[in-house]
Structure 1
Amino acid sequence: MTALSLAAAPRQSPSMVLAIVGGLACAFAIGKTLPVTMDTVSGALSPLCATAAESSPLDKVEPIGSYALPNVPGKRVTIVRVFYGPGGFSRPHRHAGSVTAYITKGAIRSQLGGGPVETFGVGQSFFEPPGATHLVSANASITEPAELIAVFVADEGAELTTYLE
């Protein structure tokens, strides 16, 4: 397009421009980060597009500690810090054992099983019972980072997080 044809083009509403940019960001994220298989694309499409942005490279999980529970043989408590960059999220997953999450920075969107999507702010917590499906775990902001501390109580040697297909 030339500068003249761009100037003559009709102006789009801000919401239309935002929708187009979000769609392009979603398409870019899918094309950049996923193998080209239909099962993988269909399983990952929803969480990628729901945030209208690529997950941040700042998303990470940092181990804090892990301790055997001497009064409960075969069980272990593990504590991790989860960092979400702006617009960051985790794919749908489930955890071994139970998890309590405490928000230390920003706001976190969360949805378990068929329940509602809830938003938790600094100082709030939520609980995931054993075997619960964590469908949404995401930073509620696309401009600010968020962080939570997760405390797992699970069987000794268990795989703490299993991503869903």
Structure 2
Amino acid sequence: MTAMNLAVTPGPVPTRTMALAVVGGLACALAIGKALPVAMDTVSGVLAPLCAAAAESSPLDKVEPIGSYALPNVPGKRVTIVRVVYGPGGFSRPHRHAGSVTAYITKGEIRSQLGGGPVETFSVGQSFFEPPGSTHLVSANASSTEPAELVAVFVADEGAQLTTLLE
């Protein structure tokens, strides 16, 4: 199963098309960010709940804020971009996110499992999508010797807690 089969669209979407869509989304978010500057304290406040979740993952793992921008054409919504770095053998506890999340693998391989779906492994250049309210049961570095990274793009309500850890 490919990452594209997780989306609610008829038939698979080519990996290249999805990668271009993710890159285009990032470019748009960055352009909006330059057009509508956001104070760093606002960005920190928006990202704090997400970054706090990183403290409850494995050692050597971190979530680095890239940017957070209000969407002027969608009142009440915000796009937030983060880099998730997993050290060798790193992982996140089961969790869910507010809004929609698209993840793009930039280094290594990431194992992921949503809800009752299969555990899948994604490599550099691949992406996966998490619909709002999905339970992310497995999010981990597939390697016990090399680091792995992904860039996650969230689209959620303004002020939403982006990550909620599950018990």
What TM-score do the two structures reach when normalised by structure 1?
0.66
Instruction: State whether residues 56 and 86 of structure 1, in contact with CA within 8 Å, keep that contact through their aligned partners in structure 2.
Output: no
Structure 2 gaps, min length 5:
1-56
Q: 1:64 maps to what in 2? A: 66
**Corresponding letter in the other structure for 1:59:** D
Q: 2:106 maps to what in 1? A: 104
Q: 2:122 maps to what in 1? A: 120
Alignment of 1:63-102 (within 5 A): 63-102=65-104
Runs of 4+ in 1 over 3 A off after TM superposition: none
Measured against aligned partners, the alpha-carbon deviations of 1:10-46 in whole angstroms (never above 9, x if no partner) come to xxxxxxxxxxxxxxxxxxxxxxxxxxxxxxxxxxxxx
Percent of residue pairs bearing the same amino acid type:
93
Instruction: State whether residues 69 and 76 of structure 1, in contact with CA within 8 Å, keep that contact through their aligned partners in structure 2.
Output: yes
Alignment of 1:1-165 (within 5 A): 56-165=58-167
Measured against aligned partners, the alpha-carbon deviations of 1:128-162 in whole angstroms (never above 9, x if no partner) come to 00000000000000000000000000000000000
Measured against aligned partners, the alpha-carbon deviations of 1:111-137 in whole angstroms (never above 9, x if no partner) come to 000000000000000000000000000
Q: Partner of 1:127: helix, strand, or coil?
A: strand
Deviation (angstroms), 1:85: 0.2
Q: 1:41 maps to what in 2? A: none
RMSD: 0.8
Question: Structure 2: how far apart are the matches of 1:151 and 1:79?
Answer: 5
Q: Partner of 1:130: helix, strand, or coil?
A: coil
Question: Structure 2: how far apart are the matches of 1:119 and 1:144?
Answer: 15
Deviation (angstroms), 1:56: 4.7
Question: With CA pairs under 8 Å and 6+ residues apart, which has the higher RCO, 1 or 2?
Answer: 2
**Corresponding letter in the other structure for 1:106:** G
**Corresponding letter in the other structure for 1:86:** P
Deviation (angstroms), 1:58: 1.5
Question: Structure 2: how far apart are the matches of 1:68 and 1:126?
Answer: 23
**Corresponding letter in the other structure for 2:157:** D
**Corresponding letter in the other structure for 2:109:** A
Question: Structure 2: how far apart are the matches of 1:82 and 1:56?
Answer: 12
